Amino acid sequence: MKFNDADNTQEWAGCVALFSSQCTRIAARDVRGTLVAENRKKGKIDLMPIQRATAQALPNIALVKYWGNRDQALRLPSNPSLSMNMAGLTTTTTVEFDPALKQDVFLLGGREINGQGLERVSRFLNQVRLQTSEVSRLFARVDSRNNFPSGAGLASSASGFAALAVAASAAAGLQLSETELSRLARLGSGSACRSVPGGFVEWAVGDDDRSSYAYSIAPADHWDLRDVVALIDVEHKAVGSTEGHAVADTSPLQAARVATAPDRLAQARSAVLARDFASLADVVELDSLMMHAVMITSSPVLMYWQPATIAVMQAVRQWRLNGLAACTTIDAGPNVHVICTAEAADEVALRLRVIPGVRQVITARVGGPAHLIPNH
Protein backbone atom coordinates (compact mmCIF):
# COMPACT_ATOMS: atom_id res chain seq x y z
CA MET A 1 0.00 0.00 0.00
CA LYS A 2 1.24 3.47 -0.88
CA PHE A 3 0.78 6.42 1.40
CA ASN A 4 1.02 10.05 0.46
CA ASP A 5 2.64 12.43 2.96
CA ALA A 6 -0.61 13.20 4.74
CA ASP A 7 -1.39 9.48 5.10
CA ASN A 8 2.12 8.84 6.38
CA THR A 9 1.72 11.53 8.99
CA GLN A 10 -1.60 10.09 10.06
CA GLU A 11 -0.18 6.58 10.22
CA TRP A 12 2.75 7.77 12.30
CA ALA A 13 0.46 9.69 14.63
CA GLY A 14 -1.64 6.54 14.97
CA CYS A 15 1.42 4.44 15.88
CA VAL A 16 2.55 6.99 18.46
CA ALA A 17 -0.94 7.10 19.99
CA LEU A 18 -1.15 3.30 20.12
CA PHE A 19 2.34 3.01 21.59
CA SER A 20 1.74 5.64 24.26
CA SER A 21 -1.64 4.16 25.22
CA GLN A 22 0.05 0.75 25.59
CA CYS A 23 2.81 2.29 27.72
CA THR A 24 0.15 3.86 29.91
CA ARG A 25 -1.60 0.53 30.30
CA ILE A 26 1.63 -1.26 31.14
CA ALA A 27 2.56 1.39 33.71
CA ALA A 28 -0.91 1.22 35.25
CA ARG A 29 -0.77 -2.57 35.40
CA ASP A 30 2.60 -2.44 37.16
CA VAL A 31 1.28 -0.15 39.86
CA ARG A 32 -1.86 -2.16 40.34
CA GLY A 33 0.04 -5.44 40.22
CA THR A 34 2.10 -4.34 43.21
CA LEU A 35 -1.01 -3.42 45.16
CA VAL A 36 -2.68 -6.72 44.35
CA ALA A 37 0.43 -8.55 45.50
CA GLU A 38 0.45 -6.58 48.76
CA ASN A 39 -3.21 -7.42 49.37
CA ARG A 40 -2.56 -11.10 48.74
CA LYS A 41 0.31 -11.07 51.24
CA LYS A 42 -2.12 -9.64 53.81
CA GLY A 43 -4.48 -12.54 53.05
CA LYS A 44 -6.97 -10.32 51.18
CA ILE A 45 -7.89 -11.58 47.74
CA ASP A 46 -9.47 -8.84 45.66
CA LEU A 47 -10.79 -9.52 42.22
CA MET A 48 -10.18 -5.88 41.35
CA PRO A 49 -7.05 -4.11 42.56
CA ILE A 50 -6.97 -0.84 44.47
CA GLN A 51 -6.33 2.10 42.17
CA ARG A 52 -4.39 4.83 43.85
CA ALA A 53 -2.79 8.22 43.12
CA THR A 54 -1.45 11.18 45.12
CA ALA A 55 -1.42 14.83 44.08
CA GLN A 56 -0.36 18.15 45.51
CA ALA A 57 -1.88 21.60 44.96
CA LEU A 58 -1.47 25.10 46.36
CA PRO A 59 -4.12 27.53 47.52
CA ASN A 60 -4.46 30.72 45.52
CA ILE A 61 -5.16 34.29 46.50
CA ALA A 62 -7.53 36.19 44.22
CA LEU A 63 -6.34 39.61 43.08
CA VAL A 64 -9.75 40.05 41.41
CA LYS A 65 -12.38 38.12 43.34
CA TYR A 66 -14.95 35.53 42.35
CA TRP A 67 -18.18 36.18 44.26
CA GLY A 68 -21.58 34.90 43.15
CA ASN A 69 -22.58 32.32 40.53
CA ARG A 70 -24.70 32.42 37.40
CA ASP A 71 -25.19 28.69 37.91
CA GLN A 72 -24.72 27.59 41.50
CA ALA A 73 -24.67 23.82 40.79
CA LEU A 74 -22.10 24.05 37.99
CA ARG A 75 -20.22 26.90 39.69
CA LEU A 76 -20.34 29.12 36.64
CA PRO A 77 -19.19 32.43 38.11
CA SER A 78 -20.92 35.78 37.79
CA ASN A 79 -17.62 37.49 36.99
CA PRO A 80 -14.09 36.69 35.81
CA SER A 81 -11.29 36.49 38.39
CA LEU A 82 -7.51 36.51 38.61
CA SER A 83 -5.25 34.93 41.22
CA MET A 84 -1.77 33.82 42.09
CA ASN A 85 -0.88 30.47 43.60
CA MET A 86 0.68 30.47 47.07
CA ALA A 87 3.92 28.50 47.22
CA GLY A 88 4.81 26.74 50.47
CA LEU A 89 1.21 26.10 51.55
CA THR A 90 0.34 22.68 50.23
CA THR A 91 -2.51 20.23 50.20
CA THR A 92 -1.44 16.65 49.60
CA THR A 93 -4.23 14.24 48.73
CA THR A 94 -4.21 10.50 48.13
CA VAL A 95 -7.20 8.83 46.49
CA GLU A 96 -7.70 5.06 46.49
CA PHE A 97 -10.61 3.44 44.67
CA ASP A 98 -10.96 0.27 46.71
CA PRO A 99 -13.31 -2.66 45.92
CA ALA A 100 -13.43 -3.47 49.65
CA LEU A 101 -15.07 -0.14 50.58
CA LYS A 102 -18.83 0.03 51.18
CA GLN A 103 -18.90 3.83 50.99
CA ASP A 104 -16.56 6.76 50.36
CA VAL A 105 -14.25 7.67 53.25
CA PHE A 106 -12.80 11.16 53.71
CA LEU A 107 -9.91 11.92 56.05
CA LEU A 108 -8.81 15.53 56.53
CA GLY A 109 -5.60 15.95 58.50
CA GLY A 110 -5.98 12.34 59.68
CA ARG A 111 -9.51 12.92 61.08
CA GLU A 112 -12.48 11.15 59.52
CA ILE A 113 -15.00 13.67 58.18
CA ASN A 114 -18.70 12.78 57.90
CA GLY A 115 -21.86 14.77 57.12
CA GLN A 116 -21.70 17.67 54.67
CA GLY A 117 -17.93 17.50 54.22
CA LEU A 118 -18.10 13.86 53.14
CA GLU A 119 -21.16 14.49 50.95
CA ARG A 120 -19.33 17.26 49.07
CA VAL A 121 -16.35 14.98 48.42
CA SER A 122 -18.64 12.08 47.40
CA ARG A 123 -20.58 14.30 44.99
CA PHE A 124 -17.26 15.33 43.49
CA LEU A 125 -16.07 11.73 43.17
CA ASN A 126 -19.33 10.94 41.35
CA GLN A 127 -18.19 13.32 38.59
CA VAL A 128 -15.03 11.22 38.20
CA ARG A 129 -16.94 7.92 38.42
CA LEU A 130 -19.23 9.17 35.64
CA GLN A 131 -16.26 9.61 33.32
CA THR A 132 -14.87 6.07 33.37
CA SER A 133 -16.20 2.55 33.66
CA GLU A 134 -12.94 1.52 35.41
CA VAL A 135 -14.08 2.89 38.77
CA SER A 136 -17.74 3.64 38.12
CA ARG A 137 -18.86 1.26 40.86
CA LEU A 138 -15.98 1.67 43.30
CA PHE A 139 -15.93 3.77 46.44
CA ALA A 140 -12.85 5.75 47.36
CA ARG A 141 -10.74 6.60 50.38
CA VAL A 142 -9.59 10.23 50.25
CA ASP A 143 -6.77 11.19 52.60
CA SER A 144 -6.07 14.93 52.46
CA ARG A 145 -3.57 16.92 54.48
CA ASN A 146 -2.93 20.67 54.58
CA ASN A 147 0.21 22.18 56.05
CA PHE A 148 -1.89 25.28 56.96
CA PRO A 149 -5.19 25.89 58.84
CA SER A 150 -8.39 24.88 56.97
CA GLY A 151 -11.42 27.14 56.58
CA ALA A 152 -9.94 30.46 57.74
CA GLY A 153 -9.71 32.39 54.49
CA LEU A 154 -6.58 30.59 53.28
CA ALA A 155 -8.48 28.94 50.43
CA SER A 156 -8.15 25.36 51.61
CA SER A 157 -11.10 24.36 49.43
CA ALA A 158 -9.18 25.65 46.37
CA SER A 159 -6.06 23.56 46.97
CA GLY A 160 -8.23 20.74 48.33
CA PHE A 161 -10.39 20.28 45.25
CA ALA A 162 -7.52 20.96 42.85
CA ALA A 163 -5.47 18.19 44.48
CA LEU A 164 -8.54 15.94 44.62
CA ALA A 165 -9.28 16.48 40.90
CA VAL A 166 -5.73 15.55 39.92
CA ALA A 167 -5.45 12.56 42.29
CA ALA A 168 -8.96 11.14 41.73
CA SER A 169 -8.82 11.35 37.94
CA ALA A 170 -5.37 9.70 37.86
CA ALA A 171 -6.47 6.97 40.27
CA ALA A 172 -9.45 6.36 38.01
CA GLY A 173 -7.14 5.87 35.04
CA LEU A 174 -8.21 9.08 33.29
CA GLN A 175 -5.66 11.20 31.49
CA LEU A 176 -7.11 14.69 31.60
CA SER A 177 -5.62 17.86 30.13
CA GLU A 178 -4.98 20.90 32.34
CA THR A 179 -8.18 22.47 31.01
CA GLU A 180 -10.22 19.37 31.79
CA LEU A 181 -8.71 19.17 35.28
CA SER A 182 -9.49 22.84 35.87
CA ARG A 183 -13.12 22.29 34.81
CA LEU A 184 -13.36 19.23 37.04
CA ALA A 185 -11.86 21.06 40.05
CA ARG A 186 -14.35 23.91 39.49
CA LEU A 187 -17.25 21.54 40.16
CA GLY A 188 -15.84 20.93 43.67
CA SER A 189 -15.02 24.54 44.48
CA GLY A 190 -15.03 27.47 42.05
CA SER A 191 -11.69 28.91 43.10
CA ALA A 192 -10.13 25.42 42.86
CA CYS A 193 -10.12 25.72 39.07
CA ARG A 194 -7.51 28.48 39.53
CA SER A 195 -5.22 26.21 41.58
CA VAL A 196 -4.78 23.74 38.71
CA PRO A 197 -2.60 25.91 36.40
CA GLY A 198 0.57 27.53 37.77
CA GLY A 199 1.66 31.10 38.53
CA PHE A 200 -0.74 33.95 37.74
CA VAL A 201 -4.06 32.49 36.69
CA GLU A 202 -7.21 33.88 35.07
CA TRP A 203 -10.66 32.29 35.19
CA ALA A 204 -12.79 33.65 32.36
CA VAL A 205 -16.47 33.15 33.12
CA GLY A 206 -17.25 31.02 30.02
CA ASP A 207 -20.74 30.26 28.75
CA ASP A 208 -21.21 26.75 30.07
CA ASP A 209 -19.52 23.82 31.81
CA ARG A 210 -17.11 23.25 28.90
CA SER A 211 -15.95 26.82 28.51
CA SER A 212 -15.55 27.83 32.17
CA TYR A 213 -11.99 27.03 33.27
CA ALA A 214 -8.78 28.74 34.36
CA TYR A 215 -5.47 29.19 32.57
CA SER A 216 -2.11 30.67 33.38
CA ILE A 217 -1.39 34.19 32.06
CA ALA A 218 2.19 34.19 33.39
CA PRO A 219 4.37 31.57 35.10
CA ALA A 220 5.34 31.74 38.78
CA ASP A 221 8.76 33.22 38.05
CA HIS A 222 7.30 36.06 35.95
CA TRP A 223 7.14 38.39 38.96
CA ASP A 224 8.45 37.74 42.46
CA LEU A 225 5.42 39.01 44.35
CA ARG A 226 4.78 37.87 47.91
CA ASP A 227 1.61 37.25 49.87
CA VAL A 228 2.35 38.06 53.52
CA VAL A 229 -0.70 36.75 55.37
CA ALA A 230 -1.66 38.27 58.72
CA LEU A 231 -3.49 35.47 60.51
CA ILE A 232 -6.05 36.99 62.84
CA ASP A 233 -8.29 34.02 63.50
CA VAL A 234 -7.77 30.45 62.36
CA GLU A 235 -11.09 29.04 63.63
CA HIS A 236 -13.47 27.59 61.04
CA LYS A 237 -15.58 30.43 59.63
CA ALA A 238 -19.29 30.56 60.46
CA VAL A 239 -20.58 31.07 56.91
CA GLY A 240 -18.59 29.41 54.13
CA SER A 241 -18.08 30.71 50.60
CA THR A 242 -20.67 28.37 49.07
CA GLU A 243 -23.48 29.87 51.18
CA GLY A 244 -22.00 33.31 50.53
CA HIS A 245 -22.10 32.96 46.75
CA ALA A 246 -25.74 31.87 47.01
CA VAL A 247 -26.77 35.13 48.68
CA ALA A 248 -24.55 37.52 46.69
CA ASP A 249 -27.46 38.64 44.51
CA THR A 250 -29.42 39.78 47.57
CA SER A 251 -27.03 42.73 47.84
CA PRO A 252 -28.08 45.80 45.84
CA LEU A 253 -24.37 46.32 45.12
CA GLN A 254 -23.68 42.97 43.44
CA ALA A 255 -24.98 43.99 39.99
CA ALA A 256 -22.65 47.01 39.93
CA ARG A 257 -19.71 44.88 41.15
CA VAL A 258 -20.31 42.24 38.47
CA ALA A 259 -20.80 44.83 35.70
CA THR A 260 -17.46 46.51 36.46
CA ALA A 261 -15.42 43.36 37.22
CA PRO A 262 -14.18 42.87 33.61
CA ASP A 263 -12.58 46.36 33.74
CA ARG A 264 -10.84 45.57 37.03
CA LEU A 265 -9.70 42.25 35.62
CA ALA A 266 -8.25 43.97 32.53
CA GLN A 267 -6.37 46.46 34.74
CA ALA A 268 -5.06 43.71 37.03
CA ARG A 269 -4.01 41.53 34.07
CA SER A 270 -2.12 44.44 32.44
CA ALA A 271 -0.50 45.36 35.76
CA VAL A 272 0.69 41.77 36.30
CA LEU A 273 2.01 41.45 32.75
CA ALA A 274 3.80 44.82 33.02
CA ARG A 275 4.93 44.19 36.63
CA ASP A 276 3.35 47.54 37.56
CA PHE A 277 2.84 47.35 41.33
CA ALA A 278 1.16 50.74 41.82
CA SER A 279 -1.52 49.94 39.27
CA LEU A 280 -2.01 46.43 40.69
CA ALA A 281 -2.30 47.74 44.28
CA ASP A 282 -5.10 50.16 43.37
CA VAL A 283 -7.23 47.56 41.63
CA VAL A 284 -6.58 44.76 44.15
CA GLU A 285 -7.74 46.88 47.10
CA LEU A 286 -10.72 48.27 45.23
CA ASP A 287 -11.85 44.81 44.12
CA SER A 288 -11.55 43.28 47.60
CA LEU A 289 -13.45 46.19 49.16
CA MET A 290 -16.19 45.88 46.54
CA MET A 291 -16.62 42.19 47.35
CA HIS A 292 -16.81 42.92 51.08
CA ALA A 293 -19.27 45.76 50.40
CA VAL A 294 -21.48 43.13 48.74
CA MET A 295 -20.98 40.73 51.64
CA ILE A 296 -21.94 43.24 54.35
CA THR A 297 -25.01 44.38 52.40
CA SER A 298 -26.26 40.84 51.66
CA SER A 299 -29.12 39.14 53.38
CA PRO A 300 -28.08 37.61 55.70
CA VAL A 301 -25.23 40.02 56.37
CA LEU A 302 -21.79 38.45 55.98
CA MET A 303 -19.32 40.36 58.10
CA TYR A 304 -15.97 38.56 58.09
CA TRP A 305 -13.83 41.41 59.41
CA GLN A 306 -12.61 41.66 62.97
CA PRO A 307 -11.11 44.80 64.57
CA ALA A 308 -7.58 43.58 63.77
CA THR A 309 -8.60 43.06 60.11
CA ILE A 310 -9.40 46.78 59.83
CA ALA A 311 -6.29 47.77 61.77
CA VAL A 312 -4.12 45.89 59.26
CA MET A 313 -5.94 47.38 56.25
CA GLN A 314 -5.45 50.92 57.58
CA ALA A 315 -1.81 50.34 58.50
CA VAL A 316 -0.94 48.93 55.06
CA ARG A 317 -2.63 51.82 53.29
CA GLN A 318 -0.54 54.26 55.33
CA TRP A 319 2.65 52.30 54.65
CA ARG A 320 1.92 52.46 50.92
CA LEU A 321 1.41 56.22 51.08
CA ASN A 322 4.85 56.34 52.69
CA GLY A 323 6.42 54.37 49.85
CA LEU A 324 6.19 50.67 50.82
CA ALA A 325 5.02 48.53 47.88
CA ALA A 326 2.17 46.68 49.66
CA CYS A 327 -1.62 46.41 49.41
CA THR A 328 -4.33 44.29 51.05
CA THR A 329 -6.91 41.78 49.94
CA ILE A 330 -9.25 39.70 52.10
CA ASP A 331 -11.19 36.52 51.28
CA ALA A 332 -14.22 35.12 53.14
CA GLY A 333 -12.49 35.29 56.53
CA PRO A 334 -10.82 37.75 58.88
CA ASN A 335 -7.21 37.22 57.75
CA VAL A 336 -5.52 39.87 55.65
CA HIS A 337 -3.37 38.99 52.65
CA VAL A 338 -0.76 41.68 52.14
CA ILE A 339 0.44 41.50 48.55
CA CYS A 340 3.84 43.11 48.17
CA THR A 341 7.05 43.12 46.19
CA ALA A 342 9.93 40.81 47.20
CA GLU A 343 11.90 43.86 48.40
CA ALA A 344 9.10 44.94 50.76
CA ALA A 345 8.25 41.47 52.15
CA ASP A 346 10.54 41.34 55.22
CA GLU A 347 9.60 44.83 56.31
CA VAL A 348 5.88 44.06 55.86
CA ALA A 349 6.16 40.86 57.94
CA LEU A 350 8.08 42.67 60.69
CA ARG A 351 5.49 45.45 60.91
CA LEU A 352 2.49 43.07 60.78
CA ARG A 353 3.79 41.01 63.70
CA VAL A 354 3.47 43.92 66.13
CA ILE A 355 -0.09 44.89 65.23
CA PRO A 356 -2.35 43.83 68.15
CA GLY A 357 -4.62 40.94 67.14
CA VAL A 358 -2.25 39.50 64.52
CA ARG A 359 -1.46 36.01 65.80
CA GLN A 360 0.88 34.77 63.13
CA VAL A 361 2.40 35.87 59.85
CA ILE A 362 2.97 33.51 56.94
CA THR A 363 4.75 34.52 53.74
CA ALA A 364 4.09 32.80 50.41
CA ARG A 365 5.83 33.27 47.07
CA VAL A 366 4.07 32.72 43.75
CA GLY A 367 3.66 28.98 43.20
CA GLY A 368 3.36 26.43 40.43
CA PRO A 369 0.58 24.14 39.17
CA ALA A 370 -1.16 21.17 40.79
CA HIS A 371 0.66 17.93 40.03
CA LEU A 372 0.81 14.22 40.65
CA ILE A 373 3.39 12.83 43.07
CA PRO A 374 4.62 9.60 41.47
CA ASN A 375 5.20 6.49 43.63
CA HIS A 376 3.73 8.10 46.75
Give residues with Cβ within 8 angstroms of 368, minimum separation 6: 58, 85, 87, 198, 199, 219, 220
Q: In the 3-class helix/strand/coil scheme, how is 31-47 assigned residue by residue?
A: HHHHHHHHHHHCCCCCC
What is the enclosing helix (H) or strand (E) of 265?
helix 254-274
Determine if 190 is a binding residue for ligand DP6 (CB under 6 A): yes
Beta strand pairing status for 81-85 and 200-203?
Answer: antiparallel
User: Which is nearer to ligand DP6, 86 or 170 (by Cβ)?
Assistant: 86
Determine if 191 is a binding residue for ligand DP6 (CB under 6 A): yes
User: Which is nearer to ligand DP6, 190 or 197 (by Cβ)?
Assistant: 190
Give residues with Cβ within 8 angstroms of 107, minimum separation 6: 113, 141, 142, 143, 144
Determine if 331 is a binding residue for ligand DP6 (CB under 6 A): yes
- How many residues in the shown chain lie near ligand DP6 by CB under 6 A? 17
CB of 215 to ligand DP6, least distance (A): 16
Q: Is 191 helix (H, G, I), strand (E, B) or coil?
A: helix
- Find, among 354, 303, 359, the residue nearest to 330 by Cα: 303
Which stretch, 16-24, 122-130, 143-151, 241-249, contacts ligand DP6 (CB under 6 A)?
A: 241-249
* Burial of 17: CB neighbours in 10 Å, binned 0-12, 13-18, 19+: exposed
Among 169, 241, 251, 309, binds ligand DP6 (CB under 6 A): 241
CB of 94 to ligand DP6, least distance (A): 21
Residue list 127-186, contact with ligand DP6 (CB under 6 A): 155, 157-158
CB of 98 to ligand DP6, least distance (A): 27
Which stretch, 19-27, 107-115, 121-129, 188-196, contacts ligand DP6 (CB under 6 A)?
A: 188-196
Among 51, 52, 54, 75, binds ligand DP6 (CB under 6 A): 75
Determine if 65 is a binding residue for ligand DP6 (CB under 6 A): yes
**Is the sign of the CA dihedral 237, 242, 248, 254 positive or negative?**
positive
Beta strand pairing status for 111-113 and 105-108?
Answer: antiparallel
> Which residues are near ligand DP6 by CB under 6 A?
62, 65-67, 75, 81, 155, 157-158, 189-191, 241-242, 245, 331-332
